Amino acid sequence: MSAQHDDLVSETEALYTVDELAAATGMTVRTTRYYAGLGLLPPPTRRGRMAYYSVQHRARLDLIRALQDHGFTLAAIEKYLAKVPADATVEDLAVQRAMLTSWKTGGHEVLTRRQLETRAGRKLDDEAILRLASMMSINEVDDGRYEVLPAFEVGVKCLDLPIPLDSMVAAGEAINRHMDELADELTAVLKDRVLTPYLESPKTEDDKARFEQTMSSLRQLTLEAVVGGFQRAANQVISRSLNR
């Protein structure tokens, strides 16, 4: 960096050239410029012929990456960012990005029918595809391409069970309905009682690293608690049935 750039950084805290911004967010300079040209980023600060980007620009790019990981199209990303205030702070953007962090390792995955069969380790006829979709193991995103959902492996194992399709549909609808409600409530708790207080408090780089690890562990523990909670509730239903 030049001495002039070092002075800028000391005065305004972390200003980046487009090359530095791209490197910091793991994007190419071409992609960074493209997003800026689309208006996904606010205009940079100009110093003569040089353009400098702030930590807010970096936070917005990190948010864009999180949206991409969730399978958002560019049009959907533009629509989402249009709702984010232009003066949103780094903390505000960090909260939104943290809420978008996928609970599934491996990120968003879209496969062709043939790739899906390779992943399943078996041939998938139209009925099998319908059953997997009914069990919310896959989601057809367009003609012949499918999003792999977290329950894919479970769905494949269920294909050979002699269960009527309408039963699978009913079970899938019940699971989806209650999981949506549970996810909404747990997300609100996570945001209001964990993320927001953390982001509003003073913190060091070590604190940030520890918190990211904590969030990863919390997600895993939450998933285990959901499974355990269902097992407990199901056993209580059985006990009540036996006592009638």
The pLDDT tens digits for 123-167 are 999 989 988 988 889 988 877 899 888 889 989 998 988 888 888
How far apart (Å, rounded) are the C-alpha atoms in residues 24 and 61?
10
Binning the chain into helix, strand and coil, the percentages to the nearest 5 are: 65, 10, 25
**Residues facing residue 13 across a β-bridge:** none
Q: Tell whether the model's pLDDT for residue 1 goes beyond 60.
A: no
- The edge-to-edge listing of strands for the beta sheet with 110-112 is 110-112, 145-148, 138-142
**Residues facing residue 146 across a β-bridge:** 111, 140
- How far from chain centre, in Å, is Cα 109? 12
Mean pLDDT within 39-64: 89
Task: Find the Cα–Cα–Cα–Cα dihedral 195, 197, 203, 209, rounded to 10°.
Answer: -20
Q: What is the pLDDT of residue 20?
A: 92
What one-character DSSP code corresponds to residue 41? S
How far apart (Å, rounded) are the C-alpha atoms in residues 212 and 191?
14
Q: What is the pLDDT of residue 135?
A: 84
H-helix segments, 38-190: 55-69, 74-82, 90-100, 113-120, 126-134, 152-158, 165-190
How far apart (Å, rounded) are the C-alpha atoms in residues 199 and 178?
30
Q: How many residues in total does the chain contain?
A: 244
Question: Is 0.95 topped by the overall pTM?
Answer: no
Unique residue bearing structure tokens 């494949």: 156
Reduced to 3 states (helix: H, G, I; strand: E, B; else coil), residue 102 is: coil
State both tokens at 83: 């709702």
Closest CA to 79 of 40, 24, 33, 29: 40
How far apart (Å, rounded) are the C-alpha atoms in residues 146 and 111?
5
Q: What percent of the chain has pLDDT over 70?
A: 91
Question: pLDDT tens-digit profile of 67-122?
Answer: 887 778 888 899 888 888 888 888 888 878 877 776 766 556 889 999 999 999 99
How far apart (Å, rounded) are the C-alpha atoms in residues 17 and 35?
15
Q: 221 to each of 93, 96, 105, how far by Cα in Å?
A: 25, 21, 15
Q: What is the pLDDT of residue 120?
A: 94
